A and B are shown apart, each in its own frame.
Chain A
Amino acid sequence: QVQLVESGGGVVQPGRSLRLSCAASGFSFSNYGMHWVRQAPGKGLEWVAVVSYDGSNKYYADSVKGRFTISRDNSKNTVYLQMNSLRVEDTAVYYCAKYSVGWYLDYWGQGTLVTVSS
């Protein structure tokens, strides 16, 4: 069965960096795009970034463009989110999600909490 397991969350000071990982299993990882979606406390879902199946295409929300970098290692079945210059407003649960063939997110991880606070 499909499993997505995020890790790397924690408490970090504003301006610092953090790298999230999402380990995938149960499907042919190298055939699918992958997303990061976040949810601030008490708020709705916000799409953050997507990487194509082969890593050649990457797109970002305006709110993180220039600060966050999505990448993947198909040999390790893992997608990453490098978050630099973190801000208090980046505090959220970060989910990774698998892109289906038909432009929807069919499987989600359990999320990892990132708290940006001094």
Chain B
Amino acid sequence: QSALTQPRSVSGSPGQSVTISCTGTSSDVGGYNSVSWYQQHPGKAPKLMIYDVTKRPSGVPDRFSGSKSGNTASLTISGLQAEDEADYYCCSYAGSYLVVFGGGTKLTVL
């Protein structure tokens, strides 16, 4: 049950794009197309932004996109906006009902 690896922080200017990586193993990220991403603003509950690697729930802007290659998944946010500043967590299914989270990435909009 080792946590997935994410960069501690990323930053970008309004209008730019940023990508957050999430590295696991063949037992989680690489083994299933079940990576999800969550946005968390300070003092708030996490919010689902991406599921099944690339899918967006209703209401999530299409500026948010996901991808996966091997044991690494990525979240890309294009056209950065001030309200995107938050913590982002990846999560992967790991078999037998289990999930594992990444350590989280703080996104700063400069």
The answer to whether A and B assemble together is yes
Binding site for A on B (CB under 8 A): 1, 3, 32, 34, 36, 38, 40, 45-48, 51-52, 57, 87, 89, 91, 93, 96-104
Among the listed A52, A62, A102, which residue makes an inter-chain contact with B97, where contact means beta carbons less than 8 Å apart? A52
Interface size class of A (residues with CB under 8 A): 20 to 34
Among the listed A45, A46, A52, which residue makes an inter-chain contact with B38, where contact means beta carbons less than 8 Å apart? A45
Q: Once bound together, how far apart are the Cα atoms of A106 and B102, in whole Å?
A: 17
| Chain A residue with the shortest CB-CB distance to B89 | A45
Asked whether A50 lies within 8 Å of B99 as measured between CB atoms, the reply is: yes
Asked whether B97 lies within 8 Å of A57 as measured between CB atoms, the reply is: yes
| Chain B residue with the shortest CB-CB distance to A4 | B45
Q: Once bound together, how far apart are the Cα atoms of A109 and B47, in whole Å?
A: 10
Q: Once bound together, how far apart are the Cα atoms of A37 and B40, in whole Å?
A: 14
Among the listed A44, A61, A104, A110, which residue makes an inter-chain contact with B45, where contact means beta carbons less than 8 Å apart? A110
Q: Which residues of B contact A35 (CB under 8 A)?
A: 99
